[in-house]
Structure 1
Amino acid sequence: MATRFQDTFISREHRFSLGIDHRTDRYYLSTPVSGVNRAMEWEAYFTITEGQFQVFHANPACADAFTEDCRMGRNEHLLVHPS
C-alpha cells in the first residue's frame, strides 16, 4: 500500500514540510499543531496551491505566517481530513 502523503521538502528550522497528497494529487504543507491546552501535539496537513508550494520551497521563511495561521486554527478550511 502506497503512502498517502509524500514529503518532498522539510524545514526543521520553520517546523513544516511540503509534499504531495497521492489520494488527491494536491500539494500540502504539514506542521505540528496542538490542542487548546497544548498537552498534545500532532501533525496536521493543509492544502496549498502549486504557487504556494513553489514559494515556500524556494524561501521557507515565506511560509511563517501561513504556518502560524495553521497552528492557531485560522486555516481550518484547508485542513486535509484523513478519511
Structure 2
Amino acid sequence: MTYNFEPMKISRKFRYTLGKEMTTRKYYLSFLVSPMTKRYVEYEEYYAISFEQFNTFTNNEVELLCFIEKCMKGNKNELRIFYPKAPA
C-alpha cells in the first residue's frame, strides 16, 4: 500500500507531526525515534488517531506528549500504521 501523508501541524521542538493520510482519509500522529543503543539512527513512527484525538492533540500539547510517551513504551502498538523497514 502506498501512503500519502498530509501534515497539518508540525512541531520542530518536540519532533512530531499531526495530519491526515489521504489514501485512507484517516488522521495520524508521527514522531521521530532515536534508539538509546544506536544514537546515530533515527526513524519515524506513524500511529492512527481518531478525529477527536486529532482535535484534542491540536489544542492540548501536554496530552499529546503523554500519548507519544505511551506509544514509545509500546502501549499503543495496535494503532501503528506500519513498522519501519530495515535496510536490505
User: TM-score scaled to structure 2, two decimals?
Assistant: 0.77
Of all paired residues, the percent bearing the same amino acid is: 34
| Coordinate RMSD, CA, aligned | 2.1
Which sections of structure 1, spanning at least 5 residues, go unmatched? none
User: TM-score scaled to structure 1, two decimals?
Assistant: 0.81
Superposition misfits of 4+ residues, deviation over 4 angstroms = none
> Which deviates more from structure 2 when the two are superposed, residues 27-36 or residues 13-22?
27-36
C-alpha contact (below 8 Å) 1:20/1:27 kept by paired residues: yes
Aligned positions, number:
81
Question: What is the one-letter code of the residue matched to 2:10?
Answer: I
Which sections of structure 2, spanning at least 5 residues, go unmatched? 84-88
Higher Cα Rg: structure 1 or 2?
Answer: 2
Q: After superposition, what is the alpha-carbon deviation per residue over 1:13-66, rounded to whole angstroms, capped at 9, x for unaligned?
A: 332110001121000000112447344220111000101100111122220111
C-alpha contact (below 8 Å) 1:10/1:16 kept by paired residues: yes
